[in-house]
Structure formats: C-alpha cells, structure tokens
Amino acid sequence: MARVGRKQELKRQFSPLAMIGFSMVMAVTWQATLFVTTFSLPNGGPAGAVIMYLFTAVGLTFTSLSLAEMASIAPTAGGQYHWVSELAPPSIQKQLSFIIGWAANYAWQSFLSSATHGAVSIIQGLITLYHPEFLLTPWQQALVVILLVTIMAAVNVGLLDRLPDLEFIVLGVNTLAFIAFEVTMLVMGPRVSAAQVFQNFENFYNWPTMGGAVLAGLFAAISSLTYADSVAHMGEELENAAVWLPRTIILGGLLNYLFGFIMLLTFLFRAENIPQALQANPTTPFLAILENITGSKTADCIMGVYIAAFSRDGGVPFSTQLRKVTASGVPFNAIVVTWAFNVILALIVISPTIAFRIIGGLAETMVLSSYMMSICTVFCRRLKGPLPKAPFSLGLWGIPINICAVLFTLFSLIMAFFPTVPNPTLVSMNWSSVVYVGLAILPFVLYAAHQRHVYIPPVELVRDPDEVNIESERK
C-alpha cells in the first residue's frame, strides 16, 4: 500500500486459503453452469454447451493470467482502473482510468442485480413444479429481489469481521452440496451415450446455421465463468497480497472451471429428452431435467433452492470504490449505494428472466471491456520496456498470453451484444447493447463537466519501490 501511495484502511483478515474459498463461493461456477443451460441447451444443445464451455475456460485462463500479473504489480481494491492508470501511456492515463473505473463499477453493480434476478427465476421455476398455474406478480418479484439484496448488505455490514470464517463454512457446504448433486445425478439419473452428449447439437430457435446457434450459447459460458477480478478487488484484505493474490486468481479460476465442467458433464450425461424439457419449462429447463433425473419434485425442489441461494450469494458486494470506511473497516457508504442501486433496478419491474439477460449482459460486457482495456495497456507497456517489478511475472510468455486474452475478450464482447434468438421481438431482444452505450456516455459527460478537475489518477500517488523500502528500514 505504501508503494501505491494509499493508507491501509481495510483489515487484512483473509489468508490465501480463505481467499481461494472466497473465489469459489463468489464465482458459484458449478451452480451457475446448471442455471445458464437455459441459454445453452436451446442454442447448441449438449455438444454446443461443452464446446463453448471449454472455449471460454481456455480464453479466460489467458485473461486470468494477464490480470494476475497486474494484480501482483498493484494489489489494490481498485483493480482495473488502478492498473490502467499506472500502465497506460501518460497522455491518456487519467481519462482512461476514469472510464475503466466506471465500467468496472457498472459491471459489479449489474452482477449483483443479475444474480438476484436469476434467483427469482429459479424460485418461480420451483413454484411451477407444484403449481403450474401460479406466476409471481411483478411486485412480488421486486420484493424478493429487495429482500435478497437487503440480507446481503446486512451481512456485509454486520458480519464483516466474521467473513473469513463464514467463507470457510460456506466453502464446506458448497463442497458437500457439489458431492450431493453429483452422487444424486449419477445414482438416480438415466445414462445417455457419449454420442448423445458430444454429437448432439440442438437448434431449438431455428437459427439459419448450427454454428450460429452454438455461438449464441456463448453467453451461457461467459456468464458462469467470468469472475477473475472479484478476487483482485480483495487485494487490500489479503495477507502478503503481491505474492498470494495472483496465485489465488489463477488457482481459484482453475478450480472453478474444473468443478463447473464436471457438473456440466454429469448433468448432460443424465439429461434425457432435452427438447421435451425445453418445451415443459423454457425459462428454467434444468429444473425439468433434474425432476426427470430424481423422479421427485421434492428432491428437485431442494436442489433448486440450493442453486438459488448460491446464485444469490454470488452477488455479495465488496466494492470499496467509495472512500469512507468506518473505524471497524466497513465500507458502509459503498454498501448502502450498492443496496440502493439494486433496489431501484428491482422497482423497474420486468420479467426476472428478461432482467437476468439484460442486466447480466450488461455486467458481462462491462467487465469484459475493463479486462480488455487493462490487458491492452499492460501489453503496450510491455512492448515499450520492462514492467514494474513484482513477485509474479509472465516473463517471455507475457506477449502471447496478452494477445490471446485481448482477442478472446474482444470476440466475447462482440458476441455478448447479439440476441439469443433469431428474429427477436421487443421482449426477446438483447437490449444490453443499448444500455451499454447509454451508460458508457455518462462517465464521459461527468469527466468533461466536472470530474477532470477533481479526479486524481492513482498513478500520481505511486512511489518508487526503493524509496518505500528505505523509509521502511528507517522506521
């Protein structure tokens, strides 16, 4: 913190193991992998889901490696906007870091909202199992979302000191639940052949080509696997962050990808008659498939409730963008703003599935934009000369890894703006592109109007490591 010119305000209460647990709980990858089959099964089917999952996991591994190197250079809660400020060309450091800071902020606010709306979709799907005629009214959906974000805000304010312990507990429950899901599906489910999984492509929405259908399912994989910077923003709460933060980003990512892939394969190898499931429950087809596997609405309900709970838990807000931190180390103002933002979104009442697609799409596009720009800056800085010294470095592999990461994030960003159905209606249209452009204009306006006079880019506070070492020795 001394090198980046910041005062240590948050408690360094997370050990490396606790942070890995946090990354697995925050990402909720294997749970999300089941939920997003809503988008992958009709767009590509089982084979398409596997291809897109592996493609995304490889692409995000390059991305995580690039982010890990930057996190080792500057392990601060600011993440992307700090890295851009320190590594971008001097002529655009201030402007670009301001814009990227807003993009990352948009992403994490939207991530929480999409997680809670996803949980509401699952709750509606569970109700449908027993009462097909009952539909949650818009105001009931809004109340459920508000309840969920209120619980999460209360946990962050009231139990901050206990969060590392809670993470260990939740990680244990998460692991046991993963085993329970696996055993249940493997023992009770009908087995389909490898050909039915790896050669079975579905085009439920009648895309002109099967390749187009498979690509339309990319949103599902991106939504369930993108998480890397969640750990990076916890750098100020991790012991010896410059050393351990990049390791937790990489190891946490690999573990999440592995758990998610195992769950996806198990689910697909026990999923019979996918077209029938899509017809029976088009908003949450995985629930119809789980009911067929277990042969029990009660078992299906228990499994679905667990996924809903962890989808909700995946949105826990840890933003430290707002300055004021209480004496006990709680970023209270930031949590209140996050709560208020999500309550307002909940009151803009629309279908939870549509909300998940729009808000989730916004979260993905904003976070991919911040990833891409951050990696572009470190790539350009690498070409001009050596990077600042850090415990973790990509070395000679830095250039090819950065190139792969930029190409992947750019492709994923473009695909994220496409609709998940051909010839979309006003309801099925992917409006994230419109929202993205509208929100992207705001920081430019704010910067031009006022913030350029008051915004202090992080690079202006960065100090030479040798100078910091000398001061530490004197003390």
Task: Give the pLDDT confidence of 148-191 residue by residue, as tens digits.
Answer: 888 877 877 777 667 667 767 777 877 888 888 888 888 887 88
Give the per-residue pLDDT at 379: 95
Q: Is residue 6 part of a domain?
A: no
**Confidence at 371, pLDDT banded by 50, 70, 90:** very high
Q: Is residue 351 part of a domain?
A: yes
- 124 φ/ψ sector (left φ>0, alpha ψ -120 to 50, else beta): alpha
How many structural domains are present in the chain?
A: 1
Over residues 53-84, the pLDDT tens digits come to 999 999 999 999 999 999 898 888 778 888 88
Q: What percent of the chain has pLDDT over 90?
A: 20
**Confidence at 228, pLDDT banded by 50, 70, 90:** low
Q: Is residue 10 part of a domain?
A: no
Give the per-residue pLDDT at 412: 93
- pLDDT above 80: residue 248: yes
Q: Shortest CA distance to 38 belongs to which of 290, 254, 296?
A: 290
**Confidence at 199, pLDDT banded by 50, 70, 90:** very high
Over residues 380-429, the pLDDT tens digits come to 999 988 888 889 999 999 999 999 999 999 999 999 888 878 888 877 78
Q: Is residue 4 part of a domain?
A: no
Give the per-residue pLDDT at 375: 95
> Domain limits at 233?
16-458
Q: Average pLDDT of 30-47? A: 86
Lowest mean pLDDT across 3-17, 72-86, 218-232 = 3-17
Q: Is residue 469 part of a domain?
A: no
Q: Is residue 229 part of a domain?
A: yes
Q: Is residue 131 part of a domain?
A: yes
Token readout for 420 is: 């998940």
Q: Is residue 26 part of a domain?
A: yes
Torsion angle defined by CA atoms of residues 328, 330, 332 and 337, in that order, rounded to the nearest 10 degrees: 180
Question: Collapsing DSSP states into helix, strand and coil, what is residue 286?
Answer: helix
Cβ–Cβ < 8 Å for 2, 238: no
Give the per-residue pLDDT at 331: 64
Share the mean pLDDT of the chain.
78
Give the per-residue pLDDT at 292: 66
- CA 41 – CA 64 distance, rounded (Å): 27
Q: What percent of the chain has pLDDT over 70?
A: 80
CATH value at residue 184: 1.20.1740.10
Q: Average pLDDT of 348-355? A: 61
Give the per-residue pLDDT at 139: 79
Lowest mean pLDDT across 140-144, 353-357, 359-363 = 353-357
Q: Average pLDDT of 22-32? A: 79
CA distances from 183 to 177, 266, 293, 309, 452 (A): 10, 10, 12, 20, 57
- pLDDT above 70: residue 308: no
Residue 290 or 327, more confident: 290
